[in-house]
């Protein structure tokens, strides 16, 4: 649990009833990712339904309000040594600066490890793709130990850095 400026915040798996809130946070944090609200809902919904390949987790406060989410996906099949991608993380502006992104990453990654171990598997590495100029690179380095391994020019809305955490 995280004690924020006003309320305790917990991280939990996303539920179907969270979909509209997660779509709203997605639109706030990534306005260029989908052309319309309907596109954003379709993209988030399709990813949510792709479980167990994908896993969403949300942050919730004492009043039941959701203020952030994280999306993990397993790459390259369900391998003995899993490769996870931190596909997307979003925290609504009123929840930023309280350690929410760090909580989302650390606690959801812990849950992902538990899931893998329950199937007799282990985590090999974590990949993160983000804008080459995104300050979140510091967060990924600090919380995961991720380092930039490559940059792809003009991938989405600009250059994208491919970060890899080999011992997360």
Q: Could you read off the pLDDT of 61-107 as tens digits, one per residue?
A: 999 999 999 999 999 999 999 999 999 999 999 999 989 999 999 99
Task: Please work out, in degrees rounded to the nearest 5, the angle formed at the alpha carbon of residue 156 by the alpha carbons of 110 and 136.
Answer: 40
Q: What average pLDDT score do residues 30-41 get?
A: 88
CA 18 to chain centre: 15
Residue of 166, 2, 164 lying closest to 86 (CA atoms): 164
The residue with tokens 């992902």 is 112
pLDDT at 4 over 80: no
Residue for token digits 């896993």? 55
| Spatial distance between the Cα atoms of 14 and 70, rounded to a whole number of angstroms | 9
11 within 8 A of 55, measured Cβ to Cβ: no
**Helical ranges in the chain per DSSP H:** 19-29, 37-49, 100-118, 136-144
Residue 1 burial (C-beta neighbours within 10 Å; 0-12, 13-18, 19+): exposed
Q: What is the pLDDT of residue 155?
A: 86
Cα(156)–Cα(161) distance, integer angstroms: 11
Give the lowest-confidence range in 1-15, 62-76, 150-164: 1-15
pLDDT at residue 7 above 70?
no
Say how many residues make up the chain. 168
Burial of 131 (0-12, 13-18, 19+ CB in 10 A): middle
Average pLDDT over residues 40-48: 95
Mean pLDDT for 10-25 is: 95
Q: What is the pLDDT of residue 1?
A: 43
């Amino acid at each position: 649990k995280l004690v924020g400026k006003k309320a305790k915040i917990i991280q939990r798996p996303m539920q179907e009833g969270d979909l509209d809130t997660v779509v709203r946070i997605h639109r706030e944090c990534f306005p260029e990712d989908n052309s319309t609200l309907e596109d954003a809902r379709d993209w988030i919904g399709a990813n949510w339904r792709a479980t167990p390949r994908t896993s969403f987790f949300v942050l919730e406060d004492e009043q039941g309000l959701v203020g952030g989410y994280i999306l993990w996906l397993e790459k390259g099949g369900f391998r003995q040594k899993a490769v996870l991608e931190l596909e997307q993380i979003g925290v609504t502006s009123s929840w930023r600066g309280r350690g929410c992104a760090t909580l989302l990453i650390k606690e959801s990654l812990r849950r992902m490890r538990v899931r893998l171990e329950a199937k007799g598997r282990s985590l090999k590495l974590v990949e993160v793709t983000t804008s080459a100029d995104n300050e979140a690179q510091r967060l990924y380095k600090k919380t995961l130990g991720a380092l930039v391994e490559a940059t792809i020019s003009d991938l989405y809305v600009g250059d994208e850095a491919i970060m890899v955490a080999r011992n997360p």
